[in-house]
DNA sequence: CGGTATCCTCCTCGATACTG
DNA sequence: CAGTATCGAGGAGGATACCG
């Protein structure tokens, strides 16, 4: 229903690609995965997803919330307490996300080996374009 | 096994996130999905994945090939004939990718609605940082 | 046909600092 | 605790041109 022999850029295709961009985004998948395990607070996510910055986590959560995948609950206490959890819609994605993450863990080694052998036959790992040094413009 | 309460940035986690970046990349998922349907030639993919540029398709395929997910077969004829298809490793990802794409199509409307209602309660869709208008340089 | 080579432009992400 | 504001660097991706 998608891979029609004719490659017309339908509206649905365009939208689908847009959504995939969100779902496929670097951090969204991980955050969704974590929330699939349990309801979590902001700082908890910040710790559990090491490497993510405060700002990016905030942006990511906002995006997921806007898409209706994650809900945000503020408990009016002090200090503030905010819970994030999957919405029913988010739950429908849970299995797919889980299998994606699981696949990744199961095949880390395969990919490592594939890359090694690829880099061997071709010359080394993908090289940087080699900065022309004369690129440092006025600052 | 992943969501350990302690959020130490293990090597595996780091690698896993790297792989997710590849798998979750905008175009990779779509290309993998297409190749899941059938073996395809370069130009065929170029048409079937409307919106992708020649360069980006080439880069994407190179990446997938390096990761051992896609194989490239050159038939020494003129004009050149090159086939791309999933490797056995790529096949192991097929189901997950398919369900991801299917989910996307099934929930396009849900997401649209969620965004609308979100944008309604908050002020309009996420705005651009407001281009300082004096940014429109010569074109 | 199936790519590379360049160039250039956003847009994402990270670091840092400040606030309710 | 849970964010927002600001800034700056880098990479992803598009347009275009050319090659085997």
Q: Pick the closest to residue A20 from B8, B103, B131 (CA basis).
A: B103
Tell me which protein residue sits closest to nucleotide D10, measuring alpha carbon to C1'. Answer: A128
Query: What does the pLDDT look like over A62-85, one tens digit per residue?
Result: 999 999 999 999 999 999 999 999
| Element containing residue A72 per DSSP (H, E) | strand A70-75
Quickly state the pLDDT bin for A33 (edges 50, 70, 90): very high
What pLDDT score does B55 carry?
A: 96
Max mean pLDDT among B7-11, B85-89, B121-125 falls in B85-89
Asked if B101 lies within 8 A of A20 by C-beta distance, the reply is yes
Enumerate the residues of chain B whose CB falls inside 8 A of the CB of residue A113: 68
Contact criterion met (CB < 8 Å) for A108 and B67: no
Whether B7 has a pLDDT exceeding 50, the answer reads no
Please tell me the distance from the alpha carbon of residue B5 to that of residue A44, in angstroms, as a whole number.
9
Place A42 in a pLDDT band, splitting at 50, 70 and 90: very high
d(CA B20, CA B110): 25
- Considering only CB atoms, which chain A residues are within 8 Å of B21? 26
- Answer with the residue of higher pLDDT: A120 or B58: B58
pLDDT digits (tens, 9 = 90+) for B39-91: 999 999 999 988 899 999 999 999 999 999 999 999 999 999 999 999 999 99
Find the distance separating the first CA and the last CA of chain A, reported in whole Å.
Answer: 53
Q: Select the more confidently predicted residue: B121 or B76.
A: B76
Q: Which residues pair with B86 in a beta bridge?
A: B70
What are the chain B neighbours of A92 within 8 Å (beta carbons)? 103, 107
Residue-level pLDDT at B99: 94
Average pLDDT, chain B: 83
Q: Could you tell me which chain A residue has the CA closest to the CA of B37? A: A3
Place of tokens 């010569």: B138
Are A30 and B17 inside 8 Å of each other by CB?
A: yes
pLDDT band at B134 (very low <50, low <70, confident <90, very high): very low
Q: Is B70 exposed, middle or buried (0-12, 13-18, 19+ CB in 10 A)?
A: buried
Task: Say which range, A9-23, A39-53, A113-127, B90-104, has the weakest mean pLDDT.
Answer: A9-23
CA of residue B17 to C1' of nucleotide C15, angstroms = 21
């Amino acid at each position: 229903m998608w891979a029609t022999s004719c490659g017309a850029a339908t509206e649905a295709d365009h939208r689908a690609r847009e959504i995939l961009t969100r779902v496929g985004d670097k951090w969204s998948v991980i955050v969704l995965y974590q929330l699939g395990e349990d309801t979590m607070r902001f700082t908890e996510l910040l710790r559990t997803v090491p490497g993510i910055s405060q700002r990016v986590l905030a942006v990511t959560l906002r995006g997921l919330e806007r898409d209706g995948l994650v809900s945000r609950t503020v408990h009016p206490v002090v200090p503030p307490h905010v819970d994030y959890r999957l919405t029913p819609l988010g739950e429908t994605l849970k299995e797919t996300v889980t299998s994606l993450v699981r696949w990744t863990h199961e095949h880390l080694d395969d990919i490592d080996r594939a890359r090694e052998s690829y880099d061997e036959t071709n010359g080394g790992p993908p090289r940087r374009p080699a900065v022309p040094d004369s690129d440092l413009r006025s600052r």
